[in-house]
Structure 1
Amino acid sequence: MVPTYSSNVILAKARAMYGRRLTRANYRELLECRTVSEVASYLKNQTSYGSILAGINESDIHRGQLEIRLRQKLFEDNSALCRYEVTIGEHFANYLISRGEIEQILHSLVLLEGDVPEEYLFAMPAYLTAHTHLDLTALSHIRSYDDLLLAVSHTPYCKALESFRPAPGVPLNYTGIENALYTYLYGQVFEVIRKYTRGETAVQLRQMFESYIDLQNYLRIARLRFIHNEGIDVVRSALLPFGQLHERHLNALLEAQSQEELASIIRKTPVGMQFIKSQGSYAYVEQLMNRTKYRICRRDIRFSTHPSVVLMSYIFLMEIEVGDIITIVEGIRYQLAPDEIKSMLTVVDF
């Protein structure tokens, strides 16, 4: 009786929360804003983001402060929703925390490599401190890779990071570190799916995450091959060891000679044939990944009858929405035309 009741609750709750998403009119009006303050004021007074922005002085809010507030609402809403899902909601809440911890470690590494590690303090998500075992304040004090290892010494990430300790004069292998941390994260996710789900729920969750990983690997190939000009063996070593891509498709992607050829190949893969409908252009390669993920999750939140699938669909969809808002803010910051900003968004054209 309890599982059936809780299933109905999570389905209704997630879909009701998704019903409060930004509308086409909201997107159109956000694109008409001229400053970050105008965006903050609009979100505060016209959208469901008003609760997290209550009490702020929108005329003084900085871009980074606005982003932290938006991500705080995202984290709190997602964590609250996970509590309604009695089967694996707690495990998915832990996934969100672990992913947040990994993002903070990687951000601190970027700042360390840029010789400005002290700037982490100004971007630190204070809302995460109550949920994480990671000492975020310690990340703002690191001045070397050894300091980072000390800061994470009590976490499961330390072992992965230790193997990438850079030798004197050798550049930090950021791509390798990123791959190792996310390999750990997704390994945990698939273990949760294996242990705590059955039947169609397990099938749909695996497809959701495997499709997302296929797209992440596609993005990594595009970046490393055609932006950083890395060789095939280097790129292959940077791919996540999960997903549905057949070896022949993976080899074809790695051997592609242009981004156009790469895009043509991904459309012939299972994830491409099922979800990548458009042959149109994309402002940047991340859009193909985000829009495909959007299609998958929009379908599942509407039609899936499995609470954990609807839960994760909601989480991914709202992450995409927050990403779009941040893109609008960045576009305004760099004084881009509204149509140019619009071309970079994931949701607005659907």
Structure 2
Amino acid sequence: MGRLLSYSGISTKIRAMQSKLISESEIQEMLQFTSVSHAAAWLKRTPEYAKAWADLDETSLHRGQIEKLLKASIFKDFSKIYQFANPEQRKFLDLYSRRYEIRVLKEIMTNLFDHKSTDAVDVSPYCDFFRRHSKLDLDRLTACTTMDEFINALKGNEFYVPLSRIQNHDTALLFDYGMALDLYYFSMIWNVRKKLFSGKDLEQITTAYGEKFDMLNLQFISRSKRYFSMAPADIYALLIPMNYKLKKEEITALVEASTREEAQQIFRKTYYGKKYDHLSAHNLEEFYNYMLRTTLEKASRKDPYSVAMLYSYMYHKEHEVNRLTIAIECIRYGVAPDEAMQYIRNN
């Protein structure tokens, strides 16, 4: 009963928000338009965006502006949920919000590596969110002109240590800095989950993130061998340092496999190869989003009064924004609706 009471208010709020999310059939309807302005006008009429976009002139909106508006809706929804959350639920939301901080840090670092002014990073979609939910000083970070200056500006913040370790390597690439942030975030989640959660919440967090990390490792092993011919030692250095259903010896065998056929045979014997018999080592990227989505949907349906409901909604909201962004881009370049849906379904 206590569990039901603690989640009843936020569960009702999320169900109301979820009913406004854009469905696949609605995206197919939007793809029939031949101009970005017509698509924007259509979005203005949907329950999800009607109120927030009511005062906008769709005829003057270009693709970049629409993408920023869509991104801003993610942070607005997060803040709505946060307001309804109790202290226990906010523990998860605070943990989850690190992904948004890392997203912005990566955008700033990309500009620094491209020798562009970091003033070009438009933080407007994030400003309100960072003011409420983050300790990062965006004004200071976006004023930096070098990576050394950027990393020094993070002193005292949790992201300073993982980035400063990469800073010591003269050959460090943008990829290395981005991977350092990702590995820090993934490791932190896995290490603190038992301290923050218990019972059903702990079980669902472990399942959702455990399968996510396993699949990301499988994807990385597949891509690094298929596209980059990386040496095993280099692959090990970049894997997420945790295991769920994927055993250490299975990871070793996959990394050390000398042929694609050998890797496929090894993969079929893993938990994921047995559970998803239609899954191959070649279509892991397409399957990853499907698996994560269905895992969260099943968990939130099975126990709607749990942290899975929070994770599921934020995942689906971000998924919606990704799909709409791709749809707008396809409309802009005149991609046929059927072809556009293929790109959208893979995300």
Q: Give the alignment's TM-score, normalised by structure 2.
A: 0.86
CA–CA distance in 2 between the matches of 1:291 and 1:314? Answer: 15
Q: Give the superposition deviation at 1:119.
A: 5.6
1:293-332 → structure 2 map (5 Å cutoff): 293-332=292-331
- Deviation sequence 1:180-210 (CA, Å, 0-9, x none): 3223323332344312322233112101011
Q: Give the superposition deviation at 1:278.
A: 4.3
Moved more, 153-162 or 222-231: 222-231
> Quick one: structure 1 residues 266 and 191, their matched pair in 2 at CA, closer, same or farther if it must change by over 3 Å?
same
- Matched residue, 2:286: 287
Report the residue type matching 2:324 in the other structure.
I
- Matched residue, 1:144: 146
State the secondary structure of the residue aligned to 2:149: helix
CA–CA distance in 1 between the matches of 2:155 and 2:218? Answer: 32
- Deviation sequence 1:33-74 (CA, Å, 0-9, x none): 323323222111124122332322222223222222212211
Report the residue type matching 1:98 in the other structure.
R
- Matched residue, 2:64: 64
- Deviation sequence 1:324-348 (CA, Å, 0-9, x none): 1112123333432222221122389
Structure 1 runs not aligned, ≥5 long: none
- Matched residue, 2:344: 345
Moved more, 265-274 or 48-57: 265-274
2:3–2:305 Cα contact (<8 Å) kept: no
> Quick one: structure 1 residues 243 and 332, their matched pair in 2 at CA, closer, same or farther if it must change by over 3 Å?
farther
- Deviation sequence 1:271-300 (CA, Å, 0-9, x none): 4544x4645999x85432111111111212
Report the residue type matching 1:336 in the other structure.
V
> Quick one: structure 1 residues 123 and 172, their matched pair in 2 at CA, closer, same or farther if it must change by over 3 Å?
farther
Q: CA RMSD in A?
A: 2.9
> Quick one: structure 1 residues 138 and 258, their matched pair in 2 at CA, closer, same or farther if it must change by over 3 Å?
farther
Matched, 1:29 2:29: yes
1:39–1:329 Cα contact (<8 Å) kept: yes
1:266–1:272 Cα contact (<8 Å) kept: yes
2:91–2:196 Cα contact (<8 Å) kept: no
CA–CA distance in 2 between the matches of 1:225 and 1:11? Answer: 43
State the secondary structure of the residue aligned to 2:316: helix
Report the residue type matching 1:51 in the other structure.
K
1:138–1:151 Cα contact (<8 Å) kept: yes
1:166–1:173 Cα contact (<8 Å) kept: no
Q: Give the superposition deviation at 1:22.
A: 1.7
Q: Give the superposition deviation at 1:29.
A: 1.0
4+ aligned runs moved over 6 Å, structure 1: 258-261
1:201–1:306 Cα contact (<8 Å) kept: no
- Matched residue, 2:220: 220
- Matched residue, 1:112: 112
State the secondary structure of the residue aligned to 2:91: helix
CA–CA distance in 1 between the matches of 2:40 and 2:197? Answer: 41
State the secondary structure of the residue aligned to 2:311: helix
Moved more, 332-341 or 145-154: 332-341
Match of 2:159 among 157, 160, 163: 157
**Across the two proteins, how many residue pairs are aligned to each other?**
344
- Matched residue, 1:54: 54
Report the residue type matching 2:67 in the other structure.
E
2:208–2:295 Cα contact (<8 Å) kept: yes
Report the residue type matching 1:232 in the other structure.
P
> Quick one: structure 1 residues 53 and 227, their matched pair in 2 at CA, closer, same or farther if it must change by over 3 Å?
farther
Moved more, 323-332 or 78-87: 78-87
Q: Give the superposition deviation at 1:158.
A: 0.8
Q: Give the superposition deviation at 1:76.
A: 2.1
> Quick one: structure 1 residues 57 and 268, their matched pair in 2 at CA, closer, same or farther if it must change by over 3 Å?
farther
Matched, 1:269 2:270: yes
Moved more, 71-80 or 182-191: 182-191
1:231-242 → structure 2 map (5 Å cutoff): 231-242=231-242
Matched, 1:196 2:196: yes
Report the residue type matching 2:32 in the other structure.
E
Report the residue type matching 1:144 in the other structure.
T
Report the residue type matching 2:186 in the other structure.
Y
CA–CA distance in 2 between the matches of 1:269 and 1:120? Answer: 46
Q: Give the superposition deviation at 1:306.
A: 4.0
CA–CA distance in 1 between the matches of 2:345 and 2:277? Answer: 14
Report the residue type matching 1:128 in the other structure.
F
2:112–2:145 Cα contact (<8 Å) kept: yes
Report the residue type matching 1:17 in the other structure.
M
